[in-house]
A and B are shown apart, each in its own frame.
Chain A
Amino acid sequence: MTEPLLNPELAGLTEIDRLVHEPARLMLMAVLYVIDSADFIFLMNQTGMTWGNLSAHMSKLEEAGYLEVEKSFKGRRPNTMLRLTPQGRSAFQAYRSKMKQVLDHLPE
């Protein structure tokens, strides 16, 4: 039997968006939040993630509607740019304020 949550301030933590909360995805979303768009290589360089890891996290963000993929051609070369959707931006902002709110209320 589990104990009921005693501190009501901590209840806010259950509302945290787990998709954003994962450190690698949080890092990716933070980079994409401050820019307009970037390609895969730029994101790999900025985050230090491997291609496989980055690809897996990008897929999850795309499935959630947080990320949009813009495919075009530069000359004859395919050019894929990744960008946060308005929904993704709101999710990141909401996560940020939620974390601030919860952590600021915790006693020292």
Chain B
Amino acid sequence: MSEPLDLKTIEKKAFRAVHQDGLWDIYIGGIVMSMSVLAYSTSSEAKPFLRFGLYLAGMGLSYLLFWAGKKYITVPRLGQVKFGPRRQKRRLTMMIVLAGIVLLQLVILAGTIFLWQNPERAAVLGFSQTDPDLERLLVATVGALFVGPSMVFLAYFNEFMRGYYIAVILSLAVFSLIWFGEPVYLILSGLLILIPGVVLFIRFLRNHPLPPAEVSYD
């Protein structure tokens, strides 16, 4: 035996195998690139509903690719697995933490809208709207902080190491969307997430050929 039988490592490897198909990366990359349509809103005369429709279509297409990829490509090659109670508990903790983050984000968003519409109250609290650049910087930073931590928690609880890299890129993408309003930064950020995903997906297909039809235990 070349290595000791480490049960924790066996479990970790089995768990991480589920994320090695690159589909998460392709999905998130697709979402970021869809957001670029929204960034066009500041620079084009396109109708808002058309822009938003295109953005939603991009999001929908990304999800469809992810869902179909998992169902028709990954699972038939990798197989199905259900993890033990420790993982299920961890998943529940993740859901609670993420729900808490979303709640906090909603409070911040509501507070921001309220102060935006009540400049005199904002001034009392020390937020002045006299400097538009500073204001935009603040909104861009808050926007980036909205997506980054959520992704970091997702990466931590799912032991999805590339998730930390995606969190940084995602934060930069949102920041650039608000700060620069230029779609090119979003397209670049999306590509930086999507390309490693495509490489992983191709590698996954090479390493996991479709098993013969008789492979079952019926």
Contacts and interface: CB of A to CB of B under 8 A. Distances in A.
A46 B14 contact: yes
Nearest to B11: A34
A43 B215 contact: no
Interface in B121-179: none
7 contacts: A34-B14, A35-B14, A38-B81, A40-B79, A41-B78, A51-B214, A80-B216
Given A34-B10, A42-B79, A51-B212, A80 B84 contact: no
Interface in A55-72: 55, 58, 69, 71
A31 B83 contact: no
B81 A34 contact: no
A78 interface: yes
Interface in B64-90: 76-85
Interface string B9-29: 011011001000000000000
Given A30-B7, A40-B216, A51-B215, A81 B17 contact: no
B79 A41 contact: yes
A36 interface: yes
Interface residues of B, number: 26
B5 interface: yes
B84 A39 contact: no
Contacts of A34: 7-8, 10-11, 14, 84
A85 interface: no
Given A35-B11, A40-B217, A80-B217, A45 B82 contact: no
B91 interface: no
Contacts of A35: 11, 14, 81-84
Contacts of B78: 41-42, 45
